[in-house]
Amino acid sequence: MLGTSSFSSPLFRAPSLLSLSIKTLQRSPIRSTSRESTVPMASISTTPDQKVDASSSIPQEKSPPPLQISKRLEKFKTTIFTQMSMLAIKHGAINLGQGFPNFDGPEFVKEAAIQAIREGKNQYARGYGVPDLNSAVAERFKKDTGLVVDPEKEVTVTSGCTEAIAATMLGLINPGDEVIVFAPFYDSYEATLSMAGAKIKSITFRPPDFSVPLDELKSAFSKNTRAVLINTPHNPTGKMFTREELEAIASLCIENDALAFTDEVYDKLAFEADHISMASLPGMYERTVTLNSLGKTFSLTGWKIGWAIAPPHLTWGVRQAHAFLTFATSTPMQSAAAVALRAPDSYYEELKRDYNVKKAILVDGLKSVGFKVFPSSGTYFVVVDHTPFGFENDIAFCEYLIKEVGVVAIPTSVFYLNPEEGKDLVRFTFCKDEDTLRAAVERMKERLKKK
């Protein structure tokens, strides 16, 4: 379904468990910092000889000031990932919600970071990346796609892929530009597009195969379309865009003179098909920004090392935004990231073998519990249909799952412009050690029953 965002977030249409529990949020209105704000402010009377009620001398509890936020962000709440991780701790639940590993990254990369710190690489890095990392990114991109890029002019290092996304949106999108996204989508897409003043057009993937509805996509393009945003392998569904789908999108971009922004952070977690970068298709490099990061591939999500690859005329906008967002990224971690990206192919082969084992444990377990499990060709996520258990929607199900079963999943409705489109689906992650995955499955087998 084609929809246009009003930038309203569905996160808090849920029962109280998924609402913020901070008392000040419950008691205080959120006040926009816009001059048009109509929230009344406290005032001090200047009238002389004003009579004062004796009771007013009794100390009163001072109410906290209203929370303040700009209008462009006032409809967004605490991310679902933060909420669910907090609830996992509160209820002692096994967290198969947020996509961070509960195991550490490789020793050779951590040792490289320690060495860099000891060597004194601890001051500001060059704004768009330390030269060695820029070169390592370009080398890896050539090996993966066959494309030769200039590390000095076409690679920009950022503080994680989330910042690369923000810098791309803020640096290349103007207010009123239309940007096409595919729902369900990573929640930062909508927020950063809101900051840029964009108009979102959403194309919905539907189970079981989550294929691109090409006729809907074609009708979504217009003279105002500035870009299409693609995530492959796709979070949360695990879908991988086929060559035919990518070629169709590329054709529409060229025909309509639109850009392509491609989030490829899960490119090394492609299990059942080869990953294809949009930039590698004929005529697309000159209109594509390729976004990636270190964290998913090397289980070092806390390092926040990402990058954007684009031709010089697009890199200019990305770098200008990046310069005023973070300016530079952690110097010693960049040095270690360069070492990581030069890892032998055997590292990536072992990574996929390990994740295939984890995936099988979770998928087989979910099926045995009674879920309808949809195919996942990439990422470390699996989407399931929760409706066999009789709950009204995904948020009610996830609330029960945390409180009564002791397992965390992510309600997917928060990843749609229209939450109704995702109310039957929830997402689990298998980026956890095997014992954790088995324990979660056992809890669900014991405590979760079909209705």
Tell me the per-residue pLDDT of 98-153, one tens digit each, with 9 for 90 and over. 899 999 999 999 999 999 999 999 999 999 999 999 999 999 999 999 999 999 99
At 18, the pLDDT band (50, 70, 90 cuts) reads very low
The rounded distance, in Å, linking the Cα atoms of 17 and 19 is 5
Q: Tens of pLDDT along 374-415?
A: 999 999 999 999 999 999 999 999 999 999 999 999 999 999
The pLDDT confidence band at residue 5, using thresholds 50, 70 and 90, is: very low
Q: What confidence score (pLDDT) does residue 70 get?
A: 87
Per-residue pLDDT for 26 more than 60? no
> Is residue 51 pLDDT above 90, yes or no?
no
Q: What mean pLDDT is predicted for residues 283-311?
A: 98
Q: Is residue 94's pLDDT more than 90?
A: yes
Average pLDDT, the chain: 89
pLDDT, residue 59, reads: 60
Q: How confident is the model at residue 57 (pLDDT cuts 50, 70, 90)?
A: low
What average pLDDT does the segment 16-24 reach? Answer: 38
Contact 208, 235 (CB under 8 A): no
Q: What is the pLDDT of residues 322-365, one digit of tens each?
A: 999 999 999 999 999 999 999 999 999 999 999 999 999 999 99
Is pLDDT of 315 > 60? yes
Selection from 415, 43, 374, 133 nearest residue 238 by Cα: 374
- Rounded average pLDDT over 157-179: 98
- The model's pLDDT over 262-282, given as tens digits with 9 standing for 90+, comes to 999 999 999 999 999 999 999
Please state, for a pLDDT cut of 90, what percent of the chain lies above it: 79
Is the pLDDT at 53 greater than 80? The verdict is no
User: What's the average model confidence in pLDDT over 240-254?
Assistant: 98
pLDDT, one tens digit per residue, over 176-201 is 999 999 999 998 999 999 999 999 99
Give the residue-averaged pLDDT of 7-15.
37
* pLDDT band at residue 86 using 50, 70 and 90 as cut-offs: confident
Report pLDDT for 79. Answer: 79
> pLDDT grade, residue 81 (50/70/90)?
confident
Residues of the chain above pLDDT 70, percent: 87
Global confidence as pTM = 0.86
Q: Around Cβ 168, how many Cβ atoms within 10 Å? A: 29
Count Cβ atoms below 10 Å from residue 206 Cβ, excluding itself: 12
Taking only the tens place, the pLDDT of each residue in 357-383 is 999 999 999 999 999 999 999 999 999
Q: Which residue has the higher pLDDT, 446 or 73?
A: 446
* CA–CA dist 439, 371 (Å, integer): 17
**Which of 46-50, 73-77, 257-261 has the weakest average pLDDT?**
46-50
In this predicted structure, what is the pLDDT of residue 318? 98
What pLDDT, on a 0 to 100 scale, did the predictor assign at position 71?
A: 84
Residue 281: its pLDDT value, please? 98
SS (H, E, C) the chain: CCEECCCCCCCCCCCHHHCCCCHHHHHCCEEECCCCCCCCCCCCCCCCCCCCCHHHHCCCCCCCCCEEECCCCCCCCCCHHHHHHHHHHHHCCEECCCCCCCCCCCHHHHHHHHHHHHCCCCCCCCCCCCHHHHHHHHHHHHHHHCCCCCCCCCEEEECHHHHHHHHHHHHHCCCCCEEEEEECCCHHHHHHHHHHCCEEEEEECCCCCCCCCHHHHHHHCCCCEEEEEEECCCCCCCCCCCHHHHHHHHHHHHHCCCEEEEECCCCCCECCCCCCCHHHCCCCHHHEEEEEECHHHHCCHHHCCEEEECCHHHHHHHHHHHHHHCCCCCHHHHHHHHHHHCCCHHHHHHHHHHHHHHHHHHHHHHHHHCCEECCCCECCEEEEECHHHCCCCHHHHHHHHHHHHCEECEEHHHHCCCHHHHCCEEEEECCCCHHHHHHHHHHHHHHCCCC
| pLDDT at position 450 | 87
Residue 443 in this model has a pLDDT that exceeds 60: yes
